[in-house]
Each structure stands twice: as C-alpha cells, then as structure tokens.
C-alpha cells in the first residue's frame, strides 16, 4: 500500500516561510475578565448571605453583627461625613510613611548592594533591627514624636523601610554581572553603572518590595492610631470596640480592606507605567 503523498504535502510546513504565513493553533478560550468578575461578585454575595443567615441563628448577633447593620453604619458615617475625616487622617499617615520608608529602604538597599564592605559591616546590626517587633517601637515613637500624626508616620515608615530594603538589596545582588562588565568596558563611571544598569535591572525587585510594603504602611498607621490618637481609622476601631459596637468595628475593617486593595492597585499602575520599556523589550 502506497503512502498518501498528497496528504503529507498538505500537512507539511515550509520552514523558510515567514512566521505570519504559518497557520497558528486557535487560542484556548478563557473566561476573560467579565466572567471572573462575576464569579468574584458571586462569591462575595454568597459570603454575605451566609454571614446574614448565621447572625442571630448560629452565632449571637452581638459577636459578629450582620451585613445589614454594617451597611447601615457605613451609610450613616458617610452621610454625616465622619468616615471621610478618619480616612483622610489614615491615608495621610500611610502615604507619608510609605514614601519615607520606600525612599530610605531603596537607597539603603542600593548602597549596601554595591558596597560589599559596608554590607558585611552592617549585616549583623541590620539583622538585629529587622528581627525586632516593629509594633514594640510604637510607645517609643509616641514619646519621641508626641501624640500627633508624626508618631504614626514613623511607625509606618519603619515597617516599610526593611521590606523595601531587603527586596532592593536582593535585586541589586542579582543584577547580571555581564551587564556591569559591559558598561565598564565602555568606560562608564560608577555612578553611570548604578543609574543606567543596576537600578533599571533591580526595579522588578523594588516594586515587589513596594507591593508587600504598601499594606504594612497602612497597618502601621492604623496601629499607631489605635495606641494614641483622636482621629483615624485605627482610632475609630478602638472607639467602636470600647463601645461594644461590633457593627462599627466591622464597618471600619471593611473600609481598611478597601483602602488596602486600592493602594495595591495604585502601585501596580505605577509599575506598569515605569516598566513599560521592559514589556516592549520582551
């Protein structure tokens, strides 16, 4: 029996043909963003329904409240403008702490990453400071900076600093040595190597640290407000808890969670714009 030569020719592909002329396999159909958003919304609604059904039946309403009471509390705070004052105070402390901690951590990570002697010299001290529970520093910050917004900014900045520093330091150490050697062969100065080669190559690590650090900046600001403050979401949580207002506590926690998601999305947007050259190069 002779093989079907025409069938073989029909399935053969000319290796010299341009890529655009080669038939491509049909891409697998995915759910896309809209179906996934619907699934996420359905999951959230299901959780709320379970919560509403369990409240007062399986668990006392005093302990877990319920979505209707939480929504009513948020609506009341929104109408009288109370929640916006506390959100503004928390966002200011979070933003300032995040900026100060990010700049300090990035500068420290780049400096120690390109300075082996300084890295070995300061390594045990930095490890000791990083091992300290940062929350334990909050009373000291209150003593040093007072009861104002400064102590909250300091706590948020300390939480952010070490996270950004560790990621930046690792990113600088992971830069391809061939790129550095190539820049030096072209008579690049030390500053040019750092600015043109090391920093762009380590940006993915830096943004990874920023994504991790952003929620911690919010946590630091809220914790500082819970310890000593007269405004802010942390203060509102503490006040609601002292009044045995479970609905108020859950309402503030819901707002904090929304802020964390929004701030992380903001960091993602900045990264996508900053590293657009990396996507094009790929």
Residues 255, 91: Cα–Cα separation, whole Å: 12
Backbone angles phi, psi at 256, to 5 degrees: -60, -40
Interval 30-40: pLDDT, tens: 445 568 888 88
Q: Are 145 and 151 in contact (CB under 8 A)?
A: yes
Give the burial string for 51-76 (b: 16+ CB within 10 Å, else e). Answer: beeebeeeeeeeeebbbebbeebbee
Query: What is the average pLDDT value for the chain, to the nearest integer?
Result: 83
Q: Report the pLDDT value the prediction gives residue 277, as an integer from 0 to 100.
A: 54
Q: Report the pLDDT value the prediction gives residue 268, as an integer from 0 to 100.
A: 86
Residues 153, 101: Cα–Cα separation, whole Å: 9
Q: Report the pLDDT value the prediction gives residue 28, as an integer from 0 to 100.
A: 46
Interval 86-121: pLDDT, tens: 999 999 999 999 999 999 999 999 999 888 898 899
Residues 118, 173: Cα–Cα separation, whole Å: 14
Sequence spans of domains, the chain: 32-61, 65-281
Q: Which CATH number fits domain 65-281: 2.40.50.140, 2.40.70.10, 1.10.3720.10, 2.60.40.10?
A: 1.10.3720.10
Interval 187-223: pLDDT, tens: 888 888 888 888 888 888 999 999 999 999 999 999 9
Give 276's pLDDT tier (boundaries 50, 70, 90).
low
Give 21's pLDDT tier (boundaries 50, 70, 90).
very low
Give 280's pLDDT tier (boundaries 50, 70, 90).
very low
What secondary structure letter does DSSP report for 197?
Answer: I
């Amino acid at each position: 029996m002779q093989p079907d030569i025409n069938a073989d020719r029909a399935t053969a592909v000319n290796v010299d043909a341009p890529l655009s002329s080669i038939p491509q396999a049909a891409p697998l159909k995915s759910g896309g963003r809209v179906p996934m958003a619907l699934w996420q919304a359905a999951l959230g609604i299901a959780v709320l329904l379970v919560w509403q059904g369990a409240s007062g039946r399986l668990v006392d309403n005093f302990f877990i409240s319920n979505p209707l009471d939480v929504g009513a509390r948020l609506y009341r705070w929104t109408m009288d403008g109370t929640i916006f004052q506390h959100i503004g105070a928390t966002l200011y402390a979070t933003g300032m702490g995040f900026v100060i901690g990010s700049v300090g951590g990035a500068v420290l990570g780049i400096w120690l990453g390109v300075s082996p002697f300084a890295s070995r010299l300061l390594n045990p001290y930095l490890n000791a400071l990083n091992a300290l529970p940062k929350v334990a520093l909050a009373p000291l910050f209150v003593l040093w900076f007072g009861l104002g917004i400064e102590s909250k900014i300091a706590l948020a900045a300390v939480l952010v600093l070490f996270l950004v520093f560790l990621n930046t330091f690792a990113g600088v150490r992971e830069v391809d040595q061939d790129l550095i050697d190539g820049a030096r062969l072209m008579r690049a100065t030390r500053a040019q190597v750092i600015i043109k080669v090391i920093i762009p190559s380590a940006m993915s690590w830096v943004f990874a640290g920023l994504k991790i650090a952003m929620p911690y900046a919010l946590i630091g600001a809220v914790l500082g407000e819970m310890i000593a403050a007269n405004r802010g979401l942390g203060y509102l949580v503490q006040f609601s808890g002292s009044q045995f207002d479970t609905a108020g506590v859950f309402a503030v926690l819901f707002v904090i969670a929304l802020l964390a998601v929004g701030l992380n999305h903001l960091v993602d947007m900045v990264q996508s714009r900053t590293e657009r050259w990396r996507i094009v190069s790929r």
